[in-house]
Amino acid sequence: MNVSTQPTSGLKIPFDYQRLDRLMDEAGIDVIVATSKHNVQYLLGGHRAHFFDYMDAVGISRYLPVMVYAKGAPEKAGYFGHRLETFQLQADPVWTPETKSAVNNSPDAINQAIDYIRKAGLKTKRIAFEFGFMPYDAAKILRDAFPDANYVDALFVLEAQRAVKSADELKKLKIASAGVIDSMTTVIAKHGPGSTKRELVEALRREETNRGMTFEYCLITTGTSLNRAPTDQVWGKGEILSLDSGGNYHGYIGDICRMAIHGDPDAELVDFLGEIETIQRTAFNAVKPGVPGKTIYAAAEPLVHKSKHRAYLDFLAHGMGLVSHEAPRLQPNSPMRYPDAHSNVPLEAGMVISVETTMLHPTRGFVKLEDTVIVTDTGHEVYGEGIRGWNRGGTAV
């Protein structure tokens, strides 16, 4: 067992704990039990178990990191990780005063957290845990341990906490965005007619990995098809290509969509992408601190509605960061099926918005731009501005 204890004074807490305390107080929450890898990573200041980065299954159970945080008492925070995290935590200690890496499975993890909650004397009248990220066995143990507690989903408070990014988080997002742009530029230039969608996605994976990122996905279309899965479909001469990729840098996602073509675009294609660019820029200009989030939609949607392509033109704006769709949540009728809880809430400096306009043309194919927009103190900044037009494929072949 690896156990480390730090003095309560001089803690280097890697997030705005006063904001979290305030959010917990507003929600009436006494203690948060975080179990998702992204929220644990955030609360620990970047720690993520290398061994379980891709797969959670282990033996007859699963990996379950548990972070305990009590309102107003960061000096009583505790982290309970898997035994395979021991060496990683020795090399890069986390800030929590109570840190243990002796867990083998999900019941182990939650039982250690429960023991600590009791030992530390934390209030348990209202406990928040992540409903979508707590397995049944662990959730049952937690509820049985504190049968009189009122349980609420921690997702909303933790999402609101993460909505305003620190300078370090924004730096990671900027690196990720630039890395995706550079990777797309290289892949488009190096692939002539005849490349399959599978080959293009694999090439993009290698390029993003070579730039120090973790490749997550690429939604890809070629020609007139609207199918966005990697297949053996060929990118042929004169055909268009869309690359919509998420590559993350230390957990933070660079989510960009750009267009390419083998040859030169005709006037109609130029007009399509020009209209999409106009909608994007109009939405960008609406992003500024202090305005309600719905202002972005109020700026962009009139252009969509008056377009002669409105039947197959769509606009979307959503928060992003450690998760590709997170607070602020802005769209009134989201295809992701979450409420627009922040449409009337003022934007704050440090918030990150993904802005995307998509045309699913019935005869010409899939045309889209997606960008990452940061709310700054005075307005906005776009990360990954490059290659916004019709990029020519195969120029480096």
Asked if 190 and 393 touch (Cβ cutoff 8 Å), the reply is no
Torsion angle, CA of 218/221/226/230, rounded to 10 degrees? -60
Q: What are the tens digits of pLDDT across the range 269-328?
A: 999 999 999 999 999 999 999 999 999 999 999 999 999 999 999 999 999 999 999 999
For residues 117 and 149, what is the distance between their CA atoms, to the nearest angstrom?
A: 13
Q: Which helix (H) or strand (E) holds 155?
A: helix 155-162
Residue burial 320-350, b: 16+ Cβ < 10 Å; e: rest: bbbbbbbbbbbbeeeeeeeebebbebebebb
Three-state DSSP class for 360? strand
User: CA 166 to CA 119: how far, in whole Å?
Assistant: 33
Say how far residue 339 (Cα) sits from the centre of its chain: 18
Domains of the chain: 3-162 (3.40.350.10), 167-392 (3.90.230.10)
**The length of the chain, given as a count of residues:** 397
CA 131/CA 350 separation, integer angstroms: 27
Q: Which of 375, 230, 255, 244 is nearest to 323 (CA)?
A: 255
Q: Which residues, 6 or more positions from 49, have their beta carbon under 8 angstroms from its beta carbon?
A: 37, 63, 65, 81, 82, 84, 85, 88
What predicted TM-score, i.e. pTM, was given to this entire model? 0.93
Ordered DSSP codes for 205-272: HHHHHHTT-EEEEEEEEETT----S--S-EE-TT-EEEEEEEEEETTEEEEEEEEEESS---HHHHHH
- How far is the C-alpha of 158 from the C-alpha of 378, rounded, in Å? 26
316: region left, alpha or beta (phi > 0 left; psi from -120 to 50 alpha): beta
Give 118's contacts (C-beta < 8 A, 6+ positions apart).
Answer: none
- Which residues, other chains included, contact 224 with Cβ-Cβ below 8 Å and sequence gap of 6+? 239, 363, 364, 365
Residues 6+ apart with CB under 8 A from 171: none
Crossing angle of helices 106-120 and 136-145, rounded to 10°: 20
List of E strands, 337-379: 352-361, 365-375
Task: Provide the pairing of β-strand 352-361 with 326-329.
Answer: unpaired
Q: Where are the beta strands (DSSP E) in 35-123?
A: 57-58, 61-62, 66-70, 78-82, 98-103
Place of tokens 């620990």: 44
Q: Give the pLDDT confidence score for residue 1 in this predicted structure.
A: 35
Identify the CA nearest to 122 among candidates 194, 80, 71. 71
Residue 353, C-beta contacts closer than 8 angstroms, at least 6 positions apart:
287, 296, 317, 318, 319, 320, 328, 330, 347, 372, 373, 374, 375
Name the one residue in this structure whose structure tokens are 């704050």. 348
Which stretches in the chain have pLDDT values below 50? 1-8
Q: How many angstroms from the chain centroid is the CA of residue 63? A: 21
Looking at residue 331, its pLDDT comes to: 81
How far apart CA 293 and CA 381 sit, in angstroms, is 16
- Terminal Cα distance for the chain, rounded: 56
